[in-house]
Structure 1
Amino acid sequence: MDSLDLYALASVAVVLALFVAPLVALLASYNPADCVATALRDLALAVPVGRSLLELARRGGLTVVTARWPDLGPLLNSLLLPLAVASVSTSVGLAYALLVYLYRVPRLLAALPLLAYLPIPFVKALALYSVLDPDLGLVNRALGLLGLGVRVEGLAAVALYQALALFPFSYSILLSYASVLPREFAESAYSLGSPPRVAAARVLVPLLRPAIYTSLALTYVLSLEDLEAPLIFEGYPDVRGLLSYRAYVHFISEAYVGFSTRAVGYALIALAVSLAIFGASARYLVAVYRSFGAAMARPLVVYRSRASPGVAPVLAVLTALLALSLLPTLLSLASAVVDPLTLRVSPSLHLLLDPTRVRSTLNTVAYTTLSFTLSLAVALPLAYKSSRGSRA
């Protein structure tokens, strides 16, 4: 056993100590079956509210379109909402990745989705909330000129935000995996005279199935455990019924007096669903994970075929979706300088003159840098060891 093996074992010990040990200690203090049963009984008490998914109404001289999510009860809402989000984000990400891979798409459009990875917790969801505000939101202020208005309420707003936020994540997975596929498969389709669309449908999409399943699994779990959107849109009862929101509220409210069985039950249900998703997609996750190293080690390989006129409308729609998905990030960045609604200097600039705020900002930067360094110290030896072992 060399020093690298010892380092890898130490990294495993750190992971077990930080993540597995607290979970085991928690389960040792509570009966998991009782916790889950209590949480399920609590969820069963919630009565779904029947309502129309789309509603047209006249308000203040405007024709207002209201979009809602069908209220199926807290448990079904929590399980089906991530499924819808994962399906939409993966479908849009797949279409965008295929366009970038096959056609002469401007490199700026290929790189822009990565901007959504900027970590601005809660501010992004708040920015989307302000964009969709029924009275002062940018969307409704523009539509008001046409005598129209739009309201996206409750879980529909949560689904919209999550789908837009996770689409670049799906796109990155799919394009990275496509870039390491053997060129011979697509080239054989081209040599037989197949246009890019036929090559994509008959060759690339079947080869991308591991990445598609991986995207579906990861975006499902990320949507299931997301707290940003539920906390921003918590004014709606159906949003407060989500598992992630219920678990968070119960843990926070009882943090100083001990956790209730109900709080632990919500967390265990979400954990069980996440583990089931990971278990079902484990072999695809491993295949896509191993492809990332090759994707980063060589430049992006694309075909750059000239786009036909029929592709232009699709590209226009996807570009609009990309712009919409980046809007929360751009508004979050802009809000540090100007108020996106009034275009006045943002009060956040004045916070830089507050010593307490400056100190908290420096503390955040310092702790983030330290945690990132420690994460690399733990992850790198494990990644190297596992990749070396997989080649053996």
Structure 2
Amino acid sequence: MQEERISSKQLFLLLFFFIFSSVFITLPRELVGEAEHTGWLSIVIAVLVFPLCAWIIVKVRQFQGNRTIVSYVESLLISMLLRIVGKKGSKAAAKIITLVIFVLPTLIYCGLSARIMVELFGSVMLPETPTEVMIGLQLLLRYYMLLGGLAALARWSQLVGPLVIVTFLSMSLLAFGKVRMDRLLPLFDGSAGGVMHGSLLVLGNLLEVLVLMSMTQVPQEGKLLRTLVSVAAASGVMFLLVFFTSVGNYGTATNRRMLFPFIETVRDISFGNFLEHFELIALVLWGVMNFVKGALTFYACCQYFGSWFELSDYRPLMAPLSVAAFYFALLPQNIYDLFVTYDRFRVEFTPLMYMGIIVLLLLVSLVMRRRMQ
């Protein structure tokens, strides 16, 4: 089935939600832990470095064409291993490698991300609802959203995107009314190592745009590069707003101890003498953005499995993959250990892993093209 091409604006909203939704409620805590008040500089450095990464991603997308990253990597591996192990051996090896590197990890992440979302959101909004029911409902929503393909999810993002962004900016501006300059100063008290580590953290979040490697229809090269840079710039502005708002309200010491600094910040907002408890609105916005991220993750999972099984349409796999994701979501017994492990992996390994993948793919693609010529 030919997938409908999405526009640059739709891709922008999808990628923005995918990046911003998972980190904005915890980002101040993570950055002050690395760079103190200078965490803002980590954001700036990451946004300035990202265009180089975006250029590499676009070049790899050129080689990839209208294929998923799984199909493309399989073709590279088969070409590299053909003379060593023959046609059947090279194809079997390519299948095993892509299954281990791309396909299974995406399915596991799809399930675990649903569990994390349920534990965080459900504990606040629906504490009495069984975890299994919440996970099942979330996966069911992802399933029905993707029945219309990626274009349906893109149109949903267009519908809710402006409302989410305007509401978020309004809450942040209201929270700025309680910012104190003495809590923001000194601006340069972080170590060079801490600032660079913080930059890697933010860059790793920005590199989650690699989810577009699961898409077969994306804007052309020039538009794609502008879209990626625009997503990074918009995310950087939002990250700075969240950081200065949270640190300016509570200071670095208190932010370091908070689990969700931004939620605590908007909790103290009051508009006039009658509007309070804005944290509920923030949680709803977070839920909407995470729904988009979860659905896009599920889309990537289905696309990868469809490519691995060499199917023309991923939709027949959606039901069994939903069931598999449900059981993966139930595997962790200690949810606190899951949070700690996920946080550590995202901070310490994700940035280098993402950069290593795109650089290696570009180098291998260039070598294989020269060999073919």
TM range (shorter): under 0.3
Larger Rg: 1
Larger helix fraction of residues: 2
Q: TM-score, normalised by structure 2?
A: 0.27
Larger RCO (alpha carbons 8 Å, 6+ apart): 2
Larger strand fraction of residues: 1
Q: TM-score, normalised by structure 1?
A: 0.26
